[in-house]
Structure 1
Amino acid sequence: MNTNHRKIVFIDIDGTLLTEDGIVPESAQLACRQARANGHLLYLCTGRSKAEIYDSIWEIGFDGLIGAAGGYVETGNEMLYHKKVTPENVRYLVDYFNANNVDFILESNNGLYGSRNLQPHLERRIYGDLLNDPAAQERKLQSPHPYIATLVYGEESMVVDDVNKVCFLESSLPFSQIEAELAERFTAIQCSIPIFGADSGELMIPGIHKASAIADLLVHLNIPVEDSMAIGDGLNDLEMLGFCRVGVAMGNAREQLKAIADDVTDSIEADGLYNCFLKYGLISA
């Protein structure tokens, strides 16, 4: 990868920029700020919807966002497009998950709407047994996860006209069954957020993924794909790592992603983002 001129870098959030505890490592913050100071363009490229991106992430400094795993694109203050799930399909999904006791999150740019029993389920996965384990209670008190505060709970509050995509937590229903039963309406990606469980997943509008959004953005910005780089860790990063000129998997990435990546950097806990930027000349030590 020639680094003598400006590059555009697409960065996944969960597991790449952000730890499971909701923290951006100091080294990753430094890498992003130095790369932008050196003239490179940095775009968040995430399965998260805009409402899920904390102020602490934006404050690092980014040139734009590909959100909802490709369903929403903005550059600077300009929205390029926003593709939404139809109200009919949202209602179908809410009814399906409620009938099967699957906890879920409807993601929109205006808010995140959790199913009625989501909060205790999610807190149990993040902190542990809050009813019986004092250590879990202490974790919640001392290190509240920022994701919890972004959610609105209860079906009565759910929107049906501004949904980008849907995430669901692991349940007694296998991922493979959910994927098969919803295949005519949604594309399913397994375990894009590991803390949600191995049989968790996200559901997207068919035909939408991060690479298609990157391609549209590059055309809009008149930047050749040869100047692009992507870094990620999950299965919803497969297309973007394959599409960009250089695709880098984190050391903590899923094995399927490492297999197709051009390179594998260190894990998020071992300064993987910083070391990647250093290796490819986006920053200097």
Structure 2
Amino acid sequence: MIKAIFFDIDGTLLSHTTRSVPYSTQIALQHLKEKGIYTFIATGRHISEMVDLPIHDLEFEGYITLNGQYCYNRDGIIYDLPIHSHDIHNILKLIDKHPFPCIFVEKELMYINYHNDAVQIVQDAISTPLPDIQDINRAYSHPIYQVIPYDITSQKENIILDIMPHCQKTRWHELAIDIIPKTGGKQNGIREVLKHYDIQPEETMAFGDGHNDIDMFEFVGLSIAMGNATQELKEVASDVTDDIDHDGIYNALVKYNILQKD
């Protein structure tokens, strides 16, 4: 019996073709709530970004954000895991010597050192405004949960990871990566949330479309890749549904008898 379902945002809940949440998905979420099934966001995004997206008026039980590093519900924080300060100091020093645009993500703030064409391209691709420019040296004295370097080649990616030994990366765009603690990830955040709600992994389901959903898919009981998902995610998924613009979430929930077709 499915007691909780986790949803990625971009390409899963939110279509960047229509820049909206499909109506069928909105109906599905409403029916899941009526059935008493918990619904959770599981995303790489920050809380401040979600306010500006057309998901802000949808109701969820809780949120696994920053790829599992910051998890909360309406009552407060369930779990958080910042990046080791040694790694943050190292990337700040690297940027000072060899500048590249990079977002630093705190609990309530996210900010970047500067914008360039790569930042504009990536932000346009995810329907999100350019991040605020601030002095990134504040990261020396504030907990950082995620960093997002832009305009990063594979060679630069390896240099960054070499100086951040407590971290791992996820590439979600050809021009951007997410860097989080090595012991983090959506799977880790979901594990802590399930402990809080006394739910077993086999009683859960997840929907996603990208590389940062792989560890989530390997943890939950039933994993559904969107039709528009990457091939590597489809290969680890329990099943593949239709794409986001063809009622993928709703159709999968009906297929597995979690919802009845209207």
Structure 1 residue 101 displacement after superposition: 3.5
CA contact (8 A) 2:79 2:189 kept: no
* 8 Å contact kept, 1:246–1:262: yes
Q: 1:245 aligns with which of 221, 235, 240?
A: 221
Runs of 4+ aligned residues of structure 1 deviating over 6 Å after TM superposition are: none
Q: Which amino acid counterpart does residue 216 of structure 1 have in structure 2?
A: E
Q: Displacement of 1:219 after TM fit?
A: 1.8
- 3-state DSSP class of the match of 1:57? coil
Aligned residue among 242, 251, 260 for 1:275: 251
Report how far residue 74 of structure 1 moved.
1.4
Distance, in Å, in 2 between the alignment partners of 1:70 and 1:245 is 18
Identity score, percent: 25
Question: What corresponds to 2:108 in structure 1?
Answer: 110
* Cα displacement (A) at 1:155: 2.5
Matches within 5 A, 1:27-46: 27-46=24-43
Letter in 2 for 1:115: N
Q: Which amino acid aligns with 1:60?
A: L
Q: Is the 8 A contact 1:167 1:202 kept in 2?
A: yes
Secondary structure of residue in 1 paired with 2:14: coil
- The answer for unaligned runs of 5 or more in structure 2 is none
**Maintained 8 Å contact 2:12/2:226:** yes
Change (3 A) 1:178 1:251: farther
Deviation at 1:122, TM superposition (A): 2.6
Matched residue, 2:8: 12
1:1-285 aligned at under 5 Å gives the runs 2=1, 7-20=3-16, 22-54=19-51, 56-118=54-116, 120-125=117-122, 147-148=128-129, 151-155=131-135, 158-160=138-140, 161-171=142-152, 174=155, 176-178=157-159, 180-190=161-171, 192=172, 194=173, 198-284=174-260, 285=262
In structure 1, distance between residues paired with 2:205 and 2:106: 27
CA-to-partner distance for each residue in 1:233-274, whole Å, 9 max, x for gaps? 111111111111101111121211111110011122222222
SS of the equivalent of 1:148 reads coil
Alignment RMSD: 2.5
Q: Give the conservation status (yes or no) of the 8 Å contact 2:208–2:229.
A: yes
- Number of residue pairs aligned between Structure 1 and Structure 2: 258
Task: List per-residue Cα deviations over 1:71-124 (Å, max 9, x = no partner).
Answer: 112133231122212444323223323533322211222121012225x54334
Q: Is the 8 A contact 1:233 1:252 kept in 2?
A: yes
Distance 2:63 2:228 in 1: 23
- If the length of structure 2 is used for normalisation, what is the TM-score? 0.86
Q: Distance in 2 between matches of 1:121 and 1:237?
A: 24
Structure 1: state its 5+ residue gaps.
129-144
| 2:105 alignment partner, SS class | strand
Q: 1:241–1:178: structure 2 CA closer, same or farther, 3 Å change rule?
A: same
Q: Which moved more, 1:21-30 or 1:99-108?
A: 21-30
CA contact (8 A) 1:44 1:67 kept: yes
Contact 2:79 2:192 in 1 (8 A): no
Normalised by the length of structure 1, the TM-score is 0.80
Distance 1:184 1:177 in 2: 11
Judging changes above 3 Å, is the alpha-carbon distance between structure 1 residues 156 and 227 closer, same or farther for their aligned structure 2 residues?
Answer: closer
Secondary structure of the residue aligned to 2:55 is helix
